[in-house]
Structure 1
């Protein structure tokens, strides 16, 4: 009877900590830094976004005062035209937080049409979720073709190109990839340290 109770508890605990890991992996980005969501920031919003690395479940924090500004989630067409009449989502309560719940582009504009036309707008591109790589299928081995005997040529063979001094030419390394800001990832040790005492308390572990 006790074992029948332990397994459902174990499943619930694992589900809980799986959600906890997803929560801890998320990262919050402050749009505009200390300046917040303003007109004419010190760094263009889209240039700022190009330096960041956004992933699914990350959040954007728009800092502004209620009643003085707003944030509109718009389509690409409305973003290009600064159309504030039909937003996908309107946030005007001050200090708004938006969750990036999918991969792909997101378009944000201010509710002030004039300010939008003067550059208070933002494009965020969220990276696609990567699946675990699958092992490549081994290609079938082919039997080597039979060797064909060749007759000696009466003419001298062509000379091979000279090898540069120092042996074979050195391999030219590709330029390093562009560095990005990566979200915080919790340690597996931390999760185990939290999970094991809970399982022991619930009687799942002996």
Structure 2
């Protein structure tokens, strides 16, 4: 005689119930605990003869066929299993024959307004997270701590406005105008200590010692 199902209210494999495939409780302690929590049977310690039937699993939890690779044809052949098996990690979740207070379907459903509010809040949280991350990446792109780092980030400088020139240990950003021949209108010379000297055409303009650690686009 096949084992009966131990889920409360289920008639699986009883004389008055359907004939079903049953499954043993898993040996993995954590998965075993989840099964016990799912079936909601009070003061119950399962033995090797206690089973849960297929009626309490989703279709996606049941594996009813297996695949065999045919090397001679290079094709995968699917073969039905004589006895269905559970996919790894499957947990009983369907309790249609249990008392209503045990069934997942008995829980109150989320109202449309509540669902809409929840989804809007989730979308807002995601947008805020993305905005903060984007801002941090933007700041990281513009921040440097040495002349070498600045040189590596020259690709982010507006090349339509600035022309970048390296000479010696310094770096120059030049704004060139055509009147009609090319002429440096103004420029910034950055030293290895990140001090900046500004030039208007050929005139050196100084406002004390200016040191930079980021640039403006």
Judging by fraction of residues, say which structure has more strand.
2
- Quick check: which has more Rg, 1 or 2? 2
- Confirm or deny a common fold (TM above 0.5): no
Higher relative contact order (CA 8 A, sep 6+): 1
Tell me the TM-score normalized by structure 1: 0.24
Tell me the TM-score normalized by structure 2: 0.23
